[in-house]
Chains A and B, each alone.
Chain A
């Protein structure tokens, strides 16, 4: 990361434009923006739209890195526009393009349907042996801190889609599930409340499943929330291989429902997780 200069300066934004109504191929337009310290690429886009190009289209919402809407290909890396400080990029020309590997709806707007469909295909919900308990709970499922930590980092996924834009397999294979769906498949199979490996096998144990991940690692480099999907996929492969030779998770080991008294006792017995913020 370069040290940000403190004075404001005029920088050029090269933005990829595409208008589906004209039927012509995408092209690049350039705009100069007076960039001050602290300005994000998203703010620069707002300025371009307000002052120079009112037809510029993109998707954004929270502007603070939690909704995952503003994924774009900025200076050769997929990033969240709201989390990318312009001056920290360290270049005079900032290129902004729509996320690759997704159909481009207009300008910087990707069609994220492939991401959502693949996510849905891996059954992203707890599959418990007692499905009635899941639908009509009578108590809590016990889960201690260590059990939570086994999959917790994969729960931070905000479905921004940057990982699929980075993945070399997604670049050629439209049916490949992709880092997001596969990491979420691991998130659920590693959850001690879930016993759904068998149910998910049909959508995971196929050619376009985890074995077409070759650990290029680009997805983990691109992920803005530290989910590290590449890690999840390798752990998923290990889970599947162990399952294929009979060392898989047994349904009997899945978390059972506990009455409230047992939950209170469990809380009292186990220490809280370690601090992640220094005092």
Chain B
């Protein structure tokens, strides 16, 4: 395949992940899913390394837990929680639609055209409302001792 056709390179690049035009909400859910995924994998690796501190003994562990109980870390924890809830709930939507569920059946296109994007919108709204509720009630963890 010819990878270098002629002409001025008009490819959007990484900017195109963030914004490429006035598309529907799902385009921004894709961006949010990507960003939250990156944040979560970075956190997961850090978390595995940080919890490995237990092998340094009880005192080292207690010091680490005291640090994580401080207010700034509680806020960071909550932000991570928001990312995890969004990624998980949107992920449920994606696993369902990427296997072809909730998208309707193929049929002759009749103008004005319906798209699978709009047909699964009710599922998207339900998922987002559930995510919102989890995020709101999940915030209670910031106040637990």
Contact = CB atoms under 8 A, between A and B. Distances in A.
Assess A/B contact in the complex (Cβ within 8 A): yes
Interface string A163-174: 000101011101
Q: How large is the interface on B (under 10, 10 to 19, 20 to 34, 35 or more residues)?
A: 35 or more
Contact of B108 (A98, A100, A105, A149): A149
A220 B120 CA distance: 13
B103 to A, nearest CB: 6
A223 B111 CA distance: 12
Given A121-B1, A227-B109, A171 B20 contact: yes
A237 B95 CA distance: 11
A230 B1 contact: no
A234 B7 contact: no
B53 interface: no
Contact of A221 (B12, B99, B109, B117): B117
Interface stretch (A7-15, A112-120, A127-135, A136-144): A112-120
Contacts, number: 172
Interface residues of A, number: 60
21 contacts: A20-B8, A75-B22, A77-B23, A100-B10, A100-B12, A101-B12, A103-B5, A104-B10, A117-B2, A166-B21, A171-B16, A171-B20, A174-B3, A175-B3, A214-B34, A218-B23, A220-B116, A225-B113, A231-B106, A276-B108, A276-B110
Interface of B: 1-3, 5-17, 20-24, 26-27, 30-31, 33-34, 94, 97-100, 103-104, 106-111, 113-117
